[in-house]
Chain A
Amino acid sequence: MTAAVEMSGVRKAFRGKEALRGVEWSVPEASVCGLIGANGAGKTTLLRLALGLVRADAGSVVVLGERLGLENASLRERVHYVASDRAMAPGYRVDEWVRYASLAYPRWDTVRAGRLLGALELDLRRGVGELSAGQRTSLQIVVAAASRPDLLLLDEPTNGLDVVVKTQVLQLVIDMAAAEGTTMILASHHIEDVERLADRLAVLYDGHFVLQGDLDAIKARMHRLQVVIPGDWPVELEKDPTVVRVERQGKVAVLTVDGPPEPVAELCRRHGAVLVESIDLDLAEVFRIVLGKEGYSRAQLQWNVE
């Protein structure tokens, strides 16, 4: 499988402060990669690097097979960026904005643009400056979809959208990915959106990735077991490298397992466990555990899990 985005050893500092320090990232073509991280983790910097808006201080950035350098004009036609807080020239009307965009993208699909403007109820005569935050995002999505990009970068696309528009926007994005195999990177701290849309996940913390891979594999990687062991507490359990956390209250213990749960369950039964049951462990908790293992304070993280 070829990669739509390939970054290796990427570093970037702003005014002496390192925003990215050693990013290794591969986003396969036709996948939707969720990019997760607390504010200031470096998400937007990564997206701007992929767009060619900023250059890396070190390392290589390859987008759609092209190594980013000084001249990437043709690439700009194939990569599109949507951000809820992106500045848009307020002097334009919606129809003018769309017309100028149509001139910039050779693959522009006029029929699709018209259909989506109607579906998202955007008033063509309104000034871009008068639009609500949600309408501005909708307008950007229309332009993105009509330009038929190979790579779509979405930076917090659902911020400020009401539920109805949000669903429409997500459906539109999914349909683009399904129909045309558009590769997408979705930076968001709405975990539910990421869990719906993404098939891959990359967790950025403090300028580098602490976890990345197939979303379902990440979900299936960690397990939590509740066990009741009436006798002496078996120290072997604490020595098992896959047991990453033990919380005990008398005979009852909750074990967090990074790996297959069956061997640990079996170990518990051998030590006289009268109850071994698996309990739910959601993705936000998986992140906390991974980051905790990396030595980061859990208090510094804020996930919007709604």
Chain B
Amino acid sequence: MWLTVDPRSPKPVYQQVIESVKGAVAKGLLEHGDRLPSVRELAGMMTLNHNTVARAYQELERDRVIEVVRGHGTFVAAAVRPPDREARVQELVARIREMIVDAHHLQLSEDDLLELVQTTVRAWREERGQPDR
């Protein structure tokens, strides 16, 4: 199952569903046009509150990760540039800054950190079955 949710985690469950779906799309586990379970099906499968799942789906639809075709179901949308891209790039930068601070405390040099990033990207590609780009 591409969806993992830990209800005990401090992170709100709807947020975990969102990240799980986005992660599955990024990893290629879900592709454009794939049908997702309905809110009711997913709530049952994962034993999660249906309103929570519905809220995650609403946000995913707003972010254009999924699209709901009335009467047909919910599908993975074609990749589009999200409307709030600039703001999210800034958030990404903030997270990278946190990484730099952490790396400093782990006594990693800038080069070590960059190498770690490259190794991780390589491992990620291999997991997706596309070792070289």
Contacts and interface: CB of A to CB of B under 8 A. Distances in A.
A191 B9 CA distance: 11
B48 A282 contact: no
A198 interface: yes
Interface string A176-220: 011100000000000110011111000000000000000110011
Contact of A275 (B9, B11, B52, B105): B105
B94 to A, nearest CB: 10
Contacts of A175: 40, 43-44
Contact of A174 (B11, B47, B105): B47
22 contacts: A32-B51, A171-B44, A174-B49, A175-B44, A177-B49, A177-B50, A178-B39, A179-B40, A192-B7, A192-B8, A195-B13, A197-B48, A197-B49, A216-B12, A216-B13, A219-B10, A219-B12, A220-B12, A275-B105, A280-B9, A281-B10, A282-B9
B98 interface: yes
Contacts of B101: 274-275
A27 B13 CA distance: 20
A237 interface: no
Contacts of B8: 191-192, 195, 282-283, 305
Interface in B44-95: 44, 47-52, 55
Interface string A284-306: 00000000000000000000010
Contacts of B102: 277
Contacts of B98: 277
